[in-house]
Structure formats: structure tokens, C-alpha cells
Structure 1
């Protein structure tokens, strides 16, 4: 496998900015910018839109995303947000044991959706805390929390605050053993690393579009396993009916949904402004290949870790470390907020999540960006 080269030329990133923050928001691809402008020009004269235009781009998005996660296109649905996707999934899970499982500091959209489900089903939420435990011990606690009273497990594949890897395959296997549904938030990994929903035993996968998928804000995308294909959506869009493409007969009120996960699509799925951005992002990821993306990030992460380790900066255990998103474990006497401010003064952009200085790199980054971070840390840490 040939190592992927830096892809910065495909973006409009400022040369004097060191953007190590893809987990916050991805930059816009040049090709996506062109697609957006083409769509904007088309809006000037709406007579160009034909009935097929309302469905074709959505179908292409579903096909491209399905290739990234290893499933059929009919398993994919589009939403305006991850919260919409979580609500759609949980709306079709009934309680049989009275327990839901999630993890400490799960992203609020997932937690609040699970909390609402628990209240509606008179169920208990078990929050598996990490505290000062190792990543391995934390993963073991998550596995131990899943038993025959568990209805649903909702968690991120990679912890969004610090990048800690979760053993999602083992978690999925444990869920299958006890007939519990696994809802995975893939926002911070899908598009940056290889993921196969079938191999990981994931029932539902929900991803925001504007991070590692190079899509726009206000779009999200998800996978639903076949167990959900006869479920109840949270809204009744005419576009999700089997006769939707025949505009002259939509008032026949066909009660049949299109096959697969289409029933979970938000209304007005064919967002003519935003959809082209997402499609360009997904197609570009498939062109690069997620294995190549992860290998490129691994090369950069290794370079960074070697230098920062000498300054007393620690990283997650290698077995629970993803090279595209990770946190810097600073010495105890260093204020993370101060570090973030000093970095921004040097045009270096990372995120502060809780007490974690979160670094997230992608194919538009290069060693020059990491050298800037290394030099600034050297000044701060000595």
C-alpha cells in the first residue's frame, strides 16, 4: 500500500494557520465549494429541477456512505442532526429488562435521547464511569454492565472528548448475546478509520456530517440494521412513500414505505444546497480509502508523540489509541486553558474538552503543523 500524501491542495486552508481540529469541524473541500455554487446557480431558475432531482442525490449519498461502512445503500437514512437519528432508533426499541447503558461524558445528544427513552419506558440508565481507571479496565466495566436486563446500549465508538477507543466489537457481541440493541455514535471515527457495521455487530450507527465526513453542518447520516426496517419513523414524509417519485399520484396516499431504512429519512431530504457538499465529501473519502487516511494520520501521530513524550506529555495506551483524534495528558501543574490560549496565539487550533487538550488531524495536515505544536509545547513545558 502506497502512503497517502498530504491532501491540503484539495482545500482552501490558510497557509499560516495550523488547523489540528477536524473533530471540531472539517474544512470545506474545493470540490464541495464548486458543487455548492453550482447548486446555488441552479436555484436561480427552479424550472431546471425535475422530479428525479429530488431523489437522485439522496440515493447517491446513501450509496457512497454505505461503501464507507460496509453495508447496503437501503440501510442508510438522512437526518438534520444526530439527535434526530437517535430519537428515530430509540422510538423503535421496547423495554424488556428495564436497563439502558451508556458511558461517562457521552455526547449530550445521545445521552438526552437515552434519558427520554428511559423515562418513557420506566427504565434505569447505567452510566459506566471511567474516573481514574485505565482504558482497558473501563472497557471491561462496560462489558460487565451488559446483561440479560439490558435493553439498549448507546455510546460512541471513540470517546469524543479524549479519543479513547472502545472495544465496540466485543460490546456488540455482548449485546447480541443478551438481545440488547447497540446504538453507536460514529461521528468521530467514520470517515477517518475503517468501520464495518456488520463485523462490529452494530444495530444503529449515527454520524454527524460536518466532521470526518467533510459534509455540512445541519446534516447527519445513519445506518439501521434489518431489525429496524419495519419500524415507526418519528415523522411521515411523503418522500418516503413508495409512490413518491410520481408527483401526479402522491395524493393517492400510498401507505407503503420505500424498502429499507428510507422511512427514517427526514422530510425534504433532497437539500439542494447542503447535499452536494456531503456527497463530495463521501466520494472523496472513498477515493482516498479509510485505511489510507488512518495510515497517514498514524504517521503524523507517531511523529508528534515521539517529540512530546520527551517533554512529559503522555498519551492513551497504544491499544486504545486512535491516531486521528487524541488528547494530550499534560503535567498536573499545567493549566489546559492556558495552553489552548497560547496555542491560538501561535495560530495553532485544537479543542479543549473538559480538562483534555484534544488534537485531531487529517489528510490536510502535515509535519509543519505538528512542528508548530511541538515548538509551542516546548516553550510552555520546557
Structure 2
């Protein structure tokens, strides 16, 4: 079935208000997702908490759908508010192990381990890349946990999770991935890729707004390293008796500590179902096509790409001179400027006209 991308684009205000290349910072929420969240707030204001049962149902549907999207057959899923908090739980559980982190990775990935004063080995960035042989060398030396971002926020570099996962499996290391900048634009098959824990916030490429995220863990990892964090939502069916630990949820579901987040659950449920209706395969194909078009157009006007290979299909980096930044802002282009670089994110709701307007501003 042919996808009408113009009709889909009409459901998102940001790409129609700006030349919007800022999804790596914050994804455009659809009109329906915002309306669903506002309806929740209005219901809470006028009727009180009558949405609890529906929130529980939608939460379970999200868990099931995210496992389907990632083809996770021997895993469990949980809802999280952000990656940092989930990573803190992991750092607490694995604090006695030797950890490998990437220098200049996103702080949500690195800070929890540093703050926990773990034994850390850092992989230095060479240019904008991280040689896989340096990662393997640390694993050979007995590193027990490797933690990294799937797509690097500050370069657009994408890691081959299959290759790195196989390395971790070979050397018996735990593999933890922050997939925030990859989940949605890129296919992920967890039945084929060895990852122990996969985390992602959903306010970027899953377009659900702040306070939404997912965690996926392999059952084998959950059994070997049971989590001991617990809260109100850890008790099965919300029963009041807290003394029987056998009545607690297990595994990654322990990350769901407090009260259910009604507005966030409704928003994520809506956005996820909209993306499923479009089809993630269609989304990924469209994103790749637009990315290729953008790369070609930048090359045509002799703008050098900073993004190394392997290159993600959703994030590009170019030099961010003062004049270039000023020109883009004057042309109503939404982008991220940090570390002297311009980051451009492209997604299915962009179009060729966006690219034309961007290129015109860069000339």
C-alpha cells in the first residue's frame, strides 16, 4: 500500500511551522498524541482519577507492542520515565564489575556509572569514531560490562549492534545499549542481536513527549542479576501486603517503581500506534531515502559531512560556523548547534522541500 507522506506530515505541527531538522533533540508530537494527553489532564481535572484501569491496559499493550517491534522473543519490557534513572538501577546492580564506557558518549549512558564510582575503562574517540578493536581489547582483558549508545548523539555514528553483541557474548560480557537515537529510524531485531538490556526514551524518534521511555531485558540476564529495587508498583496487582517478596514483580518490571504515569502512558500508546499504522518498515525506508537525498544535496554544494561511517540514516553533522548558524536561523531552520557543529536530524515527516530550503540557506 502506497503511503501518503503529505497526509501524514499534516498530522504534525512542527514540520509545518519550521524547516524542522531537530528530531534528535525533541520529536514532533502529532496532533492526536497531544490531544490524547490533554484529554487525560482534562479528565483528571473534572472527573478525578477514573482512568487507572485503562492506563494499566495501555501500559501492558505498550510493553507487548515494543517487544513485537524489536522482535524480542525471550525478553521482558518495562515503562521508564527516562534512561538516566534506569541506568542508575543498572549501575547499582552491577557496581562491583569492570565497566567499559565510550569517552564523550551521552551523560545518560556514562554519568550513572561514574557517580556510582565504578571501575571504568574508557574507550577514547579517534576523530569521531571508536575502533572496534579497542573495544574488543578491553573485553579480552576481562571487562565485564559494555555500555554504549546505539547512535552517537554528537556525530551520527551508528554501531553495528550485531557485531558488538557477538563480541560481548564471546567474552562473556554484559551488553547494555541506550537506543534512544536509533529506535524508530532503524530496524532492531533482538532475536538476532545479543543485548542484555536495551533502553530508550521516547520523546525523540517515537514522538511521545517527555516522561516516556522503554526498557527491554533478556530473561537470562534478569534471572542471573535479579533487581532488588522496589516501590508501590512492584507489588502484583497493587496489593497492600508488602511483606511477601514473592508477590512482587520481577526482572526489568522492577524499574516501574511509583504510581502509573497516566498522561505519559496515553501519549506513548497513541504515538506508538500511529507509528505502527504507518509501519516501521515504511518509516525506515522513507528516512533512508530522505537521508540519501540530503547527503547528495550537501555534497553538491561542497559541504563536508563530519559524520563518520558507519553513518546513521537519521543524524548528520556539519561544521557550525557562526555565519552558517545565523543563516539557518534566519531561514527558520530548526537544528541543534553544539560543540561547534550543526546537527541535522531527518525523519519520515520531512520532505524534499525541507531539504531544498535547508540547502538554499546554506549556500
Same fold by TM-score, threshold 0.5 exceeded? Answer: yes
Aligned partner (choices 214, 224, 245) of residue 221 of structure 1: 214
After TM superposition, the structure 1 = structure 2 runs for residues 144-159 of structure 1, keeping only pairs within 5 Å, are 144-159=137-152
SS at 1:31 equivalent: helix
Contact 2:155 2:307 in 1 (8 A): no
Q: C-alpha distance in 1, partners of 2:106/2:49? A: 42
Give the match for residue 89 of structure 1: 90
Q: C-alpha distance in 1, partners of 2:134/2:231? A: 41
Give the match for residue 42 of structure 1: 43
Report how far residue 189 of structure 1 moved.
Answer: 0.6
Contact 1:209 1:215 in 2 (8 A): yes
SS at 2:302 equivalent: coil
Where in structure 1 are there 5+ consecutive unaligned residues? none
Give the match for residue 249 of structure 2: 258
Moved more, 288-297 or 176-185: 288-297
> What does the per-residue CA deviation read over 1:209-242, in whole Å, with 9 as the maximum and x for residues that have no partner?
1101111212321111113434454642232222
Give the match for residue 126 of structure 2: 131
Report how far residue 18 of structure 1 moved.
Answer: 0.4
> What does the per-residue CA deviation read over 1:131-182, in whole Å, with 9 as the maximum and x for residues that have no partner?
337x4x7233333332241111010111111111112211111111111111
Give the match for residue 156 of structure 2: 163
Where in structure 2 are there 5+ consecutive unaligned residues? none
Aligned partner (choices 335, 338, 355) of residue 340 of structure 2: 355
1:46 to 1:169, Cα distance in 2 relative to 1, 3 A: same
1:353 to 1:294, Cα distance in 2 relative to 1, 3 A: farther
Aligned partner (choices 179, 192, 195) of residue 202 of structure 1: 195
TM-score (normalised: structure 2): 0.90
Aligned partner (choices 220, 238, 241) of residue 235 of structure 2: 241
Q: C-alpha distance in 2, partners of 1:225/1:74? A: 4
Report how far residue 74 of structure 1 moved.
Answer: 6.4
SS at 2:241 equivalent: helix
Give the match for residue 104 of structure 1: 103
Give the match for residue 345 of structure 1: 330
> What does the per-residue CA deviation read over 1:50-71, in whole Å, with 9 as the maximum and x for residues that have no partner?
5x34522211221222222122
Matching of residue 370 in structure 1 with residue 363 in structure 2: no
SS at 1:75 equivalent: strand
Contact 2:27 2:205 in 1 (8 A): yes
Give the match for residue 288 of structure 1: 278
Report how far residue 108 of structure 1 moved.
Answer: 0.8
Q: C-alpha distance in 2, partners of 1:48/1:113? A: 37
Q: C-alpha distance in 1, partners of 2:360/2:78? A: 44
